[in-house]
C-alpha cells in the first residue's frame, strides 16, 4: 500500500512494483519523463489479482491546482472504465462527495462515499485506555474529561493532548496525570502547532479596533452547542458569549462578527448553510475549533471546558 502524501525514492517504488508483479514478477515501470492517466492505468494493470494496490491521497480537499484535480479524476475514470483491480482512496474534509470532487461529476459512479462522523466519547476514551495500558501512568478523571471535551470528537487531538500530557508528567517525574498536567500539555501543543493554525486564527480575529471582540465571538462560536454535523445556530452563541464577556448579549451584538467570519478577509473561518432565519454555521476547518478553545483557556477568556 502506498500513501501519496509521503515521498518515495525510486528504489522504494521499484520494491513496491516487484511486489505487485505478475507470476513472472514483471516490474512496474517508473522511468517516465511524464506521467499520464493512461500510463498509470497500464502499469497498475500489471499487478496480480491477489496483490491489489491501494493508493491513498490524503488531504485531497486542500489540492487547489485545477490541473492536478483533473488528472486525478481522469486516473480514477480510466481505472474504472478498464476495470483495473486497484483502489484509490481520496481523504478530505467536505460536506459531500460532490464538494470534494467539484467539477468532476463524471467520476461519481466510480466512487463509494464513506462519511466519517466525529468519534463518540467512549471511543476517544478507548484511545487513552489503550495507551495507558502500555505505561505506568494514572490518568485522573478530571484530566481525562478535559482531554475528551477539548478534542470535540477528533482523535487527532486525543492523541496529541495525550502525548503531551504523558510527556509533561514524565518531565515532572510524576506518574499521575492531573488536570494541571493537561494545562501544561495545552501550552506545549499550542507551541508545537502554531505554524499550522495561528495564521488562520490571527486572520479571523485581527482588527485595528481594540474593542472589536472578534476573539471573544470566535471563542463563543467554538463553545456553541452544535449538532452531530458540527453546525450551530446564532442563538446558541448567546450564552457562551455572555459568559465570556460577563454581561448579557443579544444577536445584534455579534451578528456582524459572524457575517465577517464568512468573508474572504477573515478566512472564511465559518461557513453557513440553510435559509434566512434558519441559518446554521460551522467551522470551515473542523480542526480549528479545539485550537480556538485551547487558546481561549490559555489567554484566560475561559477557565475550563
Say how many residues make up the chain. 305
pLDDT at 95: 67
Q: When comparing pLDDT for 278 and 52, which is higher?
A: 278
pLDDT class of 62 with cuts at 50, 70, 90: confident
How much is the mean pLDDT over the chain?
86
Contact 217, 258 (CB under 8 A): yes
Of 105-109, 196-200, 270-274, 281-285, which range is least confident?
105-109
Contact 97, 108 (CB under 8 A): yes
How far lies 81's CA from each of 36, 43, 52, 251, in Å? Answer: 16, 15, 17, 53
**pLDDT tens for residues 20-51?**
544 455 566 667 788 888 998 988 888 877 77
pLDDT at 22: 44
Round to whole Å and give the CA distance between 211 and 53. 56
- The mean per-residue pLDDT over the stretch 262-291 comes to 92
pLDDT at 73: 87
pLDDT at 72: 87
Domain ranges for the chain: 2-110, 121-195, 204-298
Residue 263 has, within 13 A of its CA and on its CB side, a CA count of 10
**305 pLDDT higher than 90:** no
**98 pLDDT higher than 90:** no
Question: Could you tell me where the beta strands, DSSP code E, fall in the chain?
Answer: 2-3, 54-57, 87-90, 138-139, 176-177, 270-273, 280-283
pLDDT at 69: 83
Query: What DSSP designation does 142 have?
Result: H
Of 49-58, 118-127, 167-176, which range is least confident?
49-58
Round to whole Å and give the CA distance between 48 and 28. 11
Of 11-15, 72-76, 133-137, 233-237, which range is least confident?
11-15
pLDDT at 125: 97
Per cent of the chain over pLDDT 90 is 51
Round to whole Å and give the CA distance between 152 and 124. 10
Query: What DSSP designation does 101 have?
Result: T
Contact 107, 72 (CB under 8 A): no
Residue 293 has, within 13 A of its CA and on its CB side, a CA count of 22
Nearest to 221 by CA among 167, 127, 158, 290: 290
**126 pLDDT higher than 70:** yes
CATH architecture of 204-298: Orthogonal Bundle (1.10)
Round to whole Å and give the CA distance between 252 and 60. 38
**166 pLDDT higher than 60:** yes
pLDDT at 135: 94
Round to whole Å and give the CA distance between 138 and 208. 46
Q: Cβ neighbours of residue 222 under 8 Å, at least 6 residues apart?
A: 283, 288, 289, 290, 292, 293, 296
Grid coordinates in use for 112? 463509494
**68 pLDDT higher than 90:** no
CA torsion angle 57 58 64 67 (round to 10) = 0
**173 pLDDT higher than 90:** yes
**103 pLDDT higher than 70:** no
* CATH number of the domain located at residue range(s) 121-195 in this protein: 1.10.8.60
Amino acid at each position: 500500500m502506498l500513501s501519496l502524501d509521503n515521498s518515495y525514492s525510486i528504489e522504494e517504488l521499484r520494491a513496491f512494483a516487484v511486489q505487485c508483479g505478475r507470476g513472472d514478477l514483471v516490474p512496474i515501470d517508473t522511468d517516465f519523463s511524464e506521467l499520464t492517466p493512461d500510463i498509470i492505468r497500464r502499469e497498475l494493470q500489471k499487478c496480480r489479482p491477489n496483490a491489489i494496490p491501494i493508493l491513498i491521497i490524503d488531504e485531497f480537499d486542500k489540492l487547489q491546482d485545477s490541473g492536478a484535480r483533473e488528472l486525478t479524476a481522469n486516473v480514477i475514470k480510466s481505472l474504472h472504465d478498464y476495470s483495473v483491480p486497484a483502489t484509490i482512496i481520496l481523504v478530505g474534509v467536505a460536506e459531500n462527495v460532490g464538494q470534494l470532487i467539484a467539477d468532476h461529476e463524471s467520476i461519481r459512479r466510480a466512487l463509494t462515499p464513506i462519511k466519517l462522523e466525529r468519534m463518540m466519547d467512549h471511543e476517544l476514551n478507548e484511545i487513552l485506555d489503550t495507551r495507558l495500558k502500555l505505561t505506568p501512568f494514572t490518568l485522573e478523571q478530571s484530566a481525562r474529561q478535559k482531554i475528551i471535551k477539548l478534542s470535540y470528537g477528533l482523535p487527532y487531538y486525543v492523541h496529541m493532548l495525550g502525548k503531551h500530557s504523558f510527556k509533561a508528567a514524565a518531565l515532572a517525574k510524576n506518574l499521575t496525570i492531573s488536570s494541571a498536567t493537561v494545562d501544561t500539555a495545552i501550552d506545549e501543543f499550542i507551541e508545537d502547532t502554531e505554524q499550522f493554525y495561528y495564521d488562520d486564527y490571527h486572520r479571523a480575529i485581527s482588527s485595528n479596533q481594540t474593542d472589536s471582540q472578534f476573539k471573544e465571538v470566535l471563542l463563543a462560536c467554538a463553545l456553541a452547542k452544535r449538532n452531530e454535523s458540527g453546525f450551530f445556530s446564532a442563538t446558541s452563541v448567546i450564552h457562551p458569549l455572555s459568559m465570556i464577556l460577563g454581561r448579557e448579549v443579544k444577536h445584534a451584538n455579534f451578528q456582524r462578527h459572524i457575517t465577517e467570519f464568512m468573508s474572504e478577509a477573515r478566512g472564511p473561518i465559518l461557513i453557513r448553510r440553510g435559509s434566512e432565519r434558519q441559518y446554521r454555521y460551522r467551522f470551515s476547518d473542523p480542526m480549528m475549533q479545539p485550537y480556538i478553545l485551547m487558546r481561549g483557556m490559555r489567554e484566560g477568556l475561559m477557565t475550563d471546558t
